[in-house]
Structure 1
Amino acid sequence: MMAFAPTAVMAQDQDEEEATEVDELVVVGSRIRRDTYNSPSPVQVVTREETVLAGYNSTTQVLQGTGVTGGSSQINNAFGGFVTDGGPGANTLSLRGLGPSRTLVLLNGRRVSPAGSRGSVGSADLNVLPTAMIERIEVLRDGASSIYGSDAVAGVVNIITRNNIEGITFEGQYNFPTEANGAGDQARVSVVGGLSGDRWHISGSAEYYNREEIALGDRDFTACNTDYRLNRATGQFSDFIDPLTNERKCYPITGTGSNGVTINTIGTSSTFGARAAGVPSTYAGTFNRWRPNSAVTTGLVGYEGVGATGLNLNIRDTFEPRILNRSLISPAEVATVFLEGAYDLNALGNAEVYGELLVNRRESSQTGYRQLSLDYNRGSLLIPANLQFSNFLAPQPTSQPGVNVGVRAFIGFGNDTSTQENDFIKYTAGIRGDFLLPEWRYDLNVSYARSDSTYTFESFLTNRLRDSLNVVVAPVGTRAELTRTGVLPTGLTGTVTCAVNVTNPSANCIPAPFLTSQTVGGVLPENWKNYVFQPVFGNTMYEETTVTVGIDGPLFSLPAGQIMAFLGAEFRDAEIDDTPPLDSINNNLLNLTTALPTRGTDSVYEVFGELEIPLLANLPLAQELTLNVSGRYTDYDSYGDDTTYKVGLVYTPFDWISLRSTYGTSYRAPALFEQFLGATSGFLNQSSDPCNNYDAAGVFANRAANCASEGLAPGFTATQGITVFSQGGAGTGALAAETSSNFTAGIILQPSLPTFFGDLSIAVDYYEIEVNDGVSRVGSGAILSRCYDSTAADFAADNGLCRLVERSTTGSRALTVRDSYTNVSTDIVEGIDYNARWTRELGPGSLLANLSVTQFLTQASQLFADDPLDEFNGTIGAPEYTATADLSYAWDQFRVRYGVEWIAGQDSYEYVGLSGPSDYVFDTPDYYIHNMSVQYAADEFTITAGVRNLFDEDLPSISQGAYNRIGNAPLYSGYDYVGRTGFIALTKSF
């Protein structure tokens, strides 16, 4: 996938693999025009031809591949069921494992602004990028804020499109998984064309991409995720055995394992009843969780006991077939139009006016599964006579004021759907030409980008559930469709309706179903489901305007050559406006967080410059010694001004060896959502209260004293969950920008070898990036523990993190935590990149081999300055080594390729605190993906066919408890959840 080009543009052609120098180009990492790729910073080039041979069907897949990312985890379409920045369906890019907000994405050297849905939009969505028009992709694996401004901390990716196209080319590619039950096909069709005249040209593309869904039930490894705990002594699994199947128990509703979520069950006050399978025969027989069983005629008739204090939770049901309808790989349809053109004015310094237009629409969706905890009011007419005794819980959100819950039904409700419709547009207009001085050029351009996303998800509405559960005997003449007929607790057949229908006939409330075994089993009236379970809509708008001006050219000549300079200025203005569903704002979504609007703006003025100074050239032991320096002054409305700089050096003592190094600083301004995120509520279990049993032996003395100072009784146990509010940092005080330092040092070898050996290029680059004052949320758990473990003086004065914690002085003494964005963390990444490229004429054709290896030496973070450095290099999801290698042979009109992607095994035992023998499995073996393809290229058409993941590599399995999982496999983008996939691509030119 990688074309390695250390000293010149290595333009890969289908007919030959020769290096060709481009007269004048601008390479990512610099603003200065040059005629070679000699750069103090490491640059990787991905060519169009290699991406086709590798079987990638979109720019997103190319950028998220191991060869570009070095194995760092990416947000892709397997994350549809998780909360991610940019919202469901967005795909982002993270270099060096530092997160997408620290990787800058460019299109033809200009920023791609953020896109996505919901309030946390802060990074470019790779879905907006064109595929058919791409000529090459340049990847700078180095900080470059002095060149490009904010976000260029871990690296920069520049997508270069084709121009000056003549004629029309139709393209199509079809990828078809062979192991996914016929699901998951990908198709892309496009047309690329262009025209030109003496003084003008225009070219562009239109393309459509469709990715079909893969559900959990379509792949064997996701059909049954278990605890996956292994007895090392016997080699046998020690998972819980489901008493209903006598097999290891499945928990596919959770994605993590162990205990799942109860369904097909009711909760009542404790009472005597029959034991279900799996309950020890020695158990006394008093239960508070029950499963319907019509064969039970004693105790609680019609029910068997499955839960009580001291009983294993796994006895309860956690599975039903609709769970497997959940999305493993979520579907999407993407349509993209890209146009570019220019017109020579023959004026204003031989200037040309130019423009670009990018229009993109993404329609994506995710299928989920919902459990419903349906709380029947104590004494409700919907509760049968044999359950009227129960007094299960204090009033809940769907209860009537002051009325306890009599019975809770844990129901497997069924599938739900989330959708996103994201419209993105970006247009650029500019003028460029000769400046006043000889060989100087100017470029002035204006860009505007807008992301407009409408997002929909389904939720239970608390007020409608509350109304539907408050029923009365229907008065004569009540509309039949608004009533429910069943057996009333008195044993008489009757009709009930919502109480609100009596007082307000236009309410159209549908009463909840009677509590029966069918109801508990998820067989629910459609009209009631449609009444209480509704789609809700939100909208996210993100706009960004950029004005950039730059001039570049030679300052004066030194003996070694000309000093080249670039001077520029830029203005950017961005605005975010996310309006969540009204029911979310009003806290009317059952068991979901509330969210307030996210609205804010920020703007920046910047001036920057770059110098390239040739110190020595064409001398003994100094074929080249070139210094590159750059600097930028930045002034943000949000946090003020700052400066960044970078210094780089290239030294070539002989033609066959070059040394290069850089040191610089970078920064990331807080994203708009990090500043202005509307307050969002969430919850922690009451077990997270740090004062639970604070007087027990071994509790830290500071914590015990602080808990006692709040007047909590010895032996205190929290009985209510912890409320957590999150919001942007602008609401709690100013946020500072993240700052970072970047150091690289490398060597490039291009030895002159005998002709029979071929040509060899090798590059080895060391890098170290340290990010300080990272913008993030501390985390509610860390806030609570550090507050309650602080000194008595700080605790009493609400100093430090204690200012974010509040405990009620009455009732259950519940906690509230405010976890907002702030500057807290330090991140350190250190490693070595190894790259090699070898070509040789062999027989009737030529052989090409590429190898790229990434070795991480350190991947670590630190939440607070006085915390120990948390090293996670080599743990699950953060491999120490990754590599890609490919071998291709081209002759006449044919080319064949074989590629391998490798992710080293990972080990998390020490990281999760398991130092001794354990039946938990927290290590993974080496993982390989083999790819093969063949291509035939004629004058006007090309056909490519191949297979990705040729041997359908088995996915590694880990235990539940420490990591999110897909099936039993870790949630990690480096693993191929789709399996073996064939592909065929065709192009036809006219």
Structure 2
Amino acid sequence: MKAFRRQSLAKAIQLSLLISLPGLAAAQETTPPPTQPSATTLDTVTVTGTRIKQTNAVTAQPVFVLDRTKIEQTGLQTVGELLQQLTSSGKALNAKFNSSGNFGYPPDGGGIGAGSAQVDLRNLGSQRTLVLVDGVRWVNESSASGVSGSADLNTIPMAIVERVEVLEDGASAIYGSDAIAGVINIITRRTFDGAEANAYYGQYDDGGETTDISLTLGGSGERWSGVFTASYFEQEDISSASWDQSAVPEPGAGPGAGSSGVPQGRFVFCDPRQPVGSPGFCGDATNDASFYSVTLNDGTATPVWDPNNPNGGTYHRFAAADRFNFAPFNLLLTPQKRKSIFTNLYYDITDNTRLHVKGLYNNRTSTNQAAPEPIFVGPDAGTGGIADTISVAANNPYNPFGIALTAGDNFSFIGRRPLEVGPRIFTQDVDTSYFNIGLDGVFDIGSRNFGWDANYAHGENKAEQTFLNGYNVAKIKTALGDPAVCAQVQGCVPLDLFGGQTRPMTQDQINWIRTRQIDSSEQVLDLYQANVTGDMFNIGDRTAGFAAGVEHRRYRGEFNPDPLRQTGESQDSQAFPVKASYDVDEVYSEFNFPILSSLELSAAIRYSDYSTFGSATTGKVGFRWQPIEDLVLRGTWSEGFRAPNLGELYGLTQFGATLTDPCGPTGAPVVDTSNGVSAGLEAACVGAGVPNGFEQANTQIITFTGGNPDLDAEESENYTVGAVYAPSWAEGQSWSNKLDFEVSYYNYKVDGAIQAADIQSLLDKCYEEQGGTGPACAPFARNFTGNLFPPQNRLANLGTIETDGADFKVNWLSPEWGFGHLTGSLQSTWVNDYEAVDQDGNVAQRAVGIEVNDSAIPEWQTNVQLGWGKGNWDANWNIRYISSVEEDCTNATIAEVPGCLNPQQMNTLGSVTYNDFQVNWKEAFTEGLKLTLGVNNAFGKEPPICVTCSLNGYDAGTYDLPGAFWYVSANYRF
């Protein structure tokens, strides 16, 4: 393959790639860097972002490289954790998320992704970031809860990773759909001679022991090379009860706001025996106070009800202090085990043709845990299903009120959380298999050099989830009805929702309503591709290059929810099966023209034909200009698209959205206008039938969501401009061996974004701007008590998403001094703006500097690495900074926390700085042994308390777990 001479800038930038985020410099190796740069001969290589082989270390598009040395210096043992620490990364699923059935299914039909880890570039969503392995698409995850459009990084063991290349630029013209925000290309270990054993152990202050063991074997001969890796990873759980915020939370902060599903029971009804005007009488729909809303006193053995005095007997009016703190039952860190084997083989068939075969099998078992499932029945249960229709017979032997509680008449709600049943347990068992076989080679035509490759890849992700300690709501209905009917059904016993914890359910009652539910899903990807790249013609003394190729992909997805979910008999949530597939055929071409000795122009075009929505054509252009030896200016403009995935097309589920009703006490109390509530909002709520004194029964309002087979593809435009400066005056100096700077500005716009409407924004707009009758009110209706019916909120090509910002990088490498050598690097991302607007002009709550829906977009994220190395020792210090964000206090269930006493105020989540340290000893005790000691978040910085965040009261996608994480590892190569 033809070699080219490189100038010193390319050498400098290639070296800078070795000392960038998130680890420390390759210069921290025992061999000191050269003191004087020199021109170096380099072979052409393929860099992520272009299929044309390059000799430039700095291409037109920004590419960030994490090699194996830098990866090891982070102390992280999963690919997901590694990528989520990038400053360009936004919120994505990881082991700190503990949600399986707590909120139902998200609107994209992709499922909850319990136990998986994903990556999100530029805050545009993991479904808009393409994941490749060795340049080939990776199969998307299933996780037993849907058909997702995102890859699970937990299916790729860290032990097989040679390096990770991050393209921080849109690349649909190069790689096709999903590459709107960028590309993650994980390069596996290709050659290795000998054996390597690695053992790792780490633990947080509060537990969460982590063990990782791997063995790599490799060899090579004259015409072949092969690698085999086996690995085992185990991570234990951390209970939320171990964190003070969850065990004894601040009032109103996140989990401290509590749930209306309480162990003592909450009962909302009226009594037809009461005369008009008496407390609890029926018939005045304009006065919510006419309904009793009571709970059983703690310690009550036998309930005593006094209809004339709801605070007499053994009951009292339900208040905020009675809400249940579910957080101690949750997990801060979810446990999982992963077992993996991987192998590859390369064989030179001829001097110009090579065969490669790769295979992987990965099994993950993981667990989520939630508080015992509450039983919500009555119209205000808000499920849109069987539970809303349940009544309680007057002759139920446990009914203390002496009357029938008739749904839709004199009864609206019972919420009872039976702790005696035990916590909800969701266990996932996920198998991933991957097979790739292909040929690649080189050939010449005259003086022109060409390379080619052809691949077939098959990937499968199969998952099964078992849910324990859920309920069959149809059986609950029978057990609360006429005891004579119940007696005719085998196994049925009348159900006691009225005795609180002093008179818990009997085992027979539990056995009748408790169920075990099993959901499963599968995704399969088959891919065929062929590419050719090489020289076209000379422009002066330089050669124009090209790449072209074809690709065929077939996607198949299947989701099989438990039959109880399909019929609506599951108390947890309802979901419907999906079984679908689609094909795509693509052809692309790419060109690089060296117009001048210092200027290169590039262009690419791709045509894609989908069996689901039709065809799309995308293009990309770029430039690379090196006006002086030390400076490169570069830029790109590209079109992008993302085809709707199977879940978005065909999924149909429920989602328990956490909503604040503008007409309720947590929003704007409907009493009068003296409390600052506008007359317009007052009139809108009264006009909708909301009674005086109204209190929202449950902040988790079930929303019917799902796919839309008529979806079109998303379209996008993005551009980047930037500069890389490697000053020669900082080379070979007494204070510096190498110094370089990089700045890149990015701008993305996504049109026709596939999303459901922001249901909270619609609800607010309906009542605060449109008087309760405008277009935004279409999804909403209310029942006879004033509570919202479950709204419909299906996916559509609704939105436009725009975001822009800048990346800054600095790398410095010292000469070898008597005490060793030093390195320093900085990576920082500034987000200038993020705005999502639907077709009606409704602006989503998510924005820069705002915490909403368990997600934040900090204005600044910065990582700094400092390092020292001498001989067989090196030490690393990594500093990670996240700027402050704010959350809207009115979204809290109880807005009575410091900083939120005025509901119009914003609660500030302060900036956070984490400090990570690591020390390495190479050739420790014997040749080939490396010992490592490290601590991440060394000073135990806790995440800021989040009032509006669900479950554990902090944003698990943005911040580290509370407490430090200590680890040791031993790597022995022989």
TM-score (norm: length of structure 2): 0.82
CA change 1:266–1:609 in 2 (3 A) is closer
Tell me which of 98, 122, 125 is aligned to 1:80: 98
Q: Could you say which residue in structure 1 is the equivalent of 2:826?
A: 851
CA change 1:891–1:415 in 2 (3 A) is same
CA change 1:808–1:866 in 2 (3 A) is closer
Q: What SS does the corresponding residue of 1:465 show, helix, strand or coil?
A: helix
Tell me which of 953, 969, 974 is aligned to 1:985: 969
CA change 1:789–1:169 in 2 (3 A) is same
Deviation at 1:74, TM superposition (A): 2.1
Tell me which of 626, 631, 635 is aligned to 2:609: 635
CA distance in 1, matches of 2:435, 2:569: 40
CA change 1:258–1:560 in 2 (3 A) is farther
| 1:509 equivalenced with 2:495 (yes/no) | no
Deviation at 1:132, TM superposition (A): 1.0
Deviation at 1:674, TM superposition (A): 0.5
Q: What SS does the corresponding residue of 1:647 show, helix, strand or coil?
A: strand
| 1:263 equivalenced with 2:263 (yes/no) | yes
Is the CA contact (8 Å cut-off) linking 2:397 and 2:494 kept in structure 1?
Answer: no
Q: Could you say which residue in structure 2 is the equivalent of 1:290?
A: 296
Tell me which of 224, 230, 237 is aligned to 1:206: 230
CA change 1:406–1:672 in 2 (3 A) is closer
CA change 1:310–1:631 in 2 (3 A) is farther
User: Runs of 5+ in structure 2 lacking a partner?
Assistant: 1-9, 19-25, 35-39, 280-288, 378-389
Deviation at 1:899, TM superposition (A): 1.2
Deviation at 1:187, TM superposition (A): 0.8
Deviation at 1:901, TM superposition (A): 0.6
Q: Which residue identity does 1:461 align to in structure 2? A: N
CA distance in 2, matches of 1:582, 1:189: 39
CA change 1:77–1:917 in 2 (3 A) is same
CA distance in 1, matches of 2:957, 2:692: 45
Q: Could you say which residue in structure 1 is the equivalent of 2:441?
A: 433
Residues 576-975 of structure 1: pairs in structure 2 closer than 5 A: 576-590=557-571, 592-617=572-597, 624-678=598-652, 680=654, 724-730=703-709, 734-752=710-728, 753=730, 755-758=733-736, 759-780=738-759, 805=779, 817-840=791-814, 841-864=816-839, 866-867=841-842, 872-876=847-851, 877-908=856-887, 918=902, 922-938=907-923, 939-958=927-946, 960=947, 963-965=948-950, 967-968=952-953, 970-975=954-959
User: Runs of 5+ in structure 1 lacking a partner?
Assistant: 229-250, 275-282, 396-401, 473-497, 618-623
Q: Could you say which residue in structure 2 is the equivalent of 1:377?
A: 392
| 1:135 equivalenced with 2:145 (yes/no) | no
CA distance in 1, matches of 2:413, 2:645: 47
Residues 155-170 of structure 1: pairs in structure 2 closer than 5 A: 155-170=182-197
Moved more, 688-697 or 594-603: 688-697
Deviation at 1:427, TM superposition (A): 0.9
The CA RMSD measured in Å over matched residues stands at 4.3
Q: Which residue identity does 2:933 align to in structure 1? A: A
CA distance in 2, matches of 1:612, 1:317: 64
Q: Could you say which residue in structure 2 is the equivalent of 1:16?
A: 31
Higher relative contact order (CA 8 A, sep 6+): 2
Is the CA contact (8 Å cut-off) linking 1:296 and 1:304 kept in structure 2?
Answer: no
**CA displacement 1:342-381 (0-9 Å, x = unmatched):** 111117xx21111211211111111111223478833235
CA distance in 1, matches of 2:367, 2:116: 11
Q: Could you say which residue in structure 2 is the equivalent of 1:119?
A: 146
| 1:556 equivalenced with 2:574 (yes/no) | no
Q: What SS does the corresponding residue of 2:158 show, helix, strand or coil?
A: coil
| 1:324 equivalenced with 2:324 (yes/no) | no
Residues 360-509 of structure 1: pairs in structure 2 closer than 5 A: 360-369=362-371, 370-373=373-376, 377-383=392-398, 387-394=400-407, 411-412=418-419, 413-435=421-443, 437=445, 438-458=448-468, 459-470=470-481, 472=483, 499-501=485-487, 503=488, 507-509=490-492
Deviation at 1:581, TM superposition (A): 0.5
CA distance in 1, matches of 2:151, 2:391: 46
Q: Could you say which residue in structure 1 is the equivalent of 2:319?
A: 313
CA change 1:17–1:614 in 2 (3 A) is farther
**CA displacement 1:694-746 (0-9 Å, x = unmatched):** 99997779x979989xxx9999999999874322111xxx2111111111111
| 1:34 equivalenced with 2:34 (yes/no) | no
CA distance in 2, matches of 1:812, 1:35: 68
CA distance in 2, matches of 1:388, 1:541: 49
**CA displacement 1:859-890 (0-9 Å, x = unmatched):** 22212264468672122321111111111111
CA distance in 1, matches of 2:192, 2:662: 62
Q: Could you say which residue in structure 1 is the equivalent of 2:247?
A: 223
Tell me which of 104, 120, 124 is aligned to 1:94: 120
Deviation at 1:547, TM superposition (A): 0.8
**CA displacement 1:321-347 (0-9 Å, x = unmatched):** xx5232111111111222111111117
Residues 27-66 of structure 1: pairs in structure 2 closer than 5 A: 27-65=47-85
Q: Could you say which residue in structure 1 is the equivalent of 2:21?
A: none
Give the length in aligned residue pairs: 885
Q: Which residue identity does 2:492 align to in structure 1? A: C
CA distance in 1, matches of 2:594, 2:672: 71
CA distance in 2, matches of 1:786, 1:765: 38
Is the CA contact (8 Å cut-off) linking 2:741 and 2:810 kept in structure 1?
Answer: yes
CA distance in 1, matches of 2:874, 2:305: 76
Q: Which residue identity does 2:723 align to in structure 1? A: I
CA distance in 1, matches of 2:413, 2:831: 57
| 1:6 equivalenced with 2:13 (yes/no) | yes
Is the CA contact (8 Å cut-off) linking 2:877 and 2:915 kept in structure 1?
Answer: yes
CA distance in 1, matches of 2:787, 2:951: 38
| 1:341 equivalenced with 2:345 (yes/no) | yes
**CA displacement 1:894-953 (0-9 Å, x = unmatched):** 111111111112234699899999375611222111111110112412111111111111
Moved more, 69-78 or 408-417: 408-417
CA distance in 1, matches of 2:765, 2:305: 49
CA distance in 1, matches of 2:250, 2:690: 40
Deviation at 1:404, TM superposition (A): 7.1
Is the CA contact (8 Å cut-off) linking 1:853 and 1:881 kept in structure 2?
Answer: yes
Deviation at 1:512, TM superposition (A): 3.2
Q: What SS does the corresponding residue of 1:377 show, helix, strand or coil?
A: coil
CA change 1:285–1:408 in 2 (3 A) is closer
CA distance in 1, matches of 2:811, 2:313: 63
Deviation at 1:563, TM superposition (A): 0.5
CA distance in 1, matches of 2:584, 2:686: 45
Deviation at 1:434, TM superposition (A): 2.4
Q: Which residue identity does 2:475 align to in structure 1? A: R
Deviation at 1:594, TM superposition (A): 1.6
Identity across matched positions, percent: 23
CA distance in 1, matches of 2:341, 2:31: 31
Q: What SS does the corresponding residue of 1:615 show, helix, strand or coil?
A: coil
Is the CA contact (8 Å cut-off) linking 1:444 and 1:548 kept in structure 2?
Answer: yes
CA change 1:470–1:790 in 2 (3 A) is closer
Is the CA contact (8 Å cut-off) linking 1:8 and 1:37 kept in structure 2?
Answer: no
**CA displacement 1:257-315 (0-9 Å, x = unmatched):** 266543313527569999xxxxxxxx9998743324459999749x9939999967124
Tell me which of 490, 506, 509 is aligned to 1:525: 506
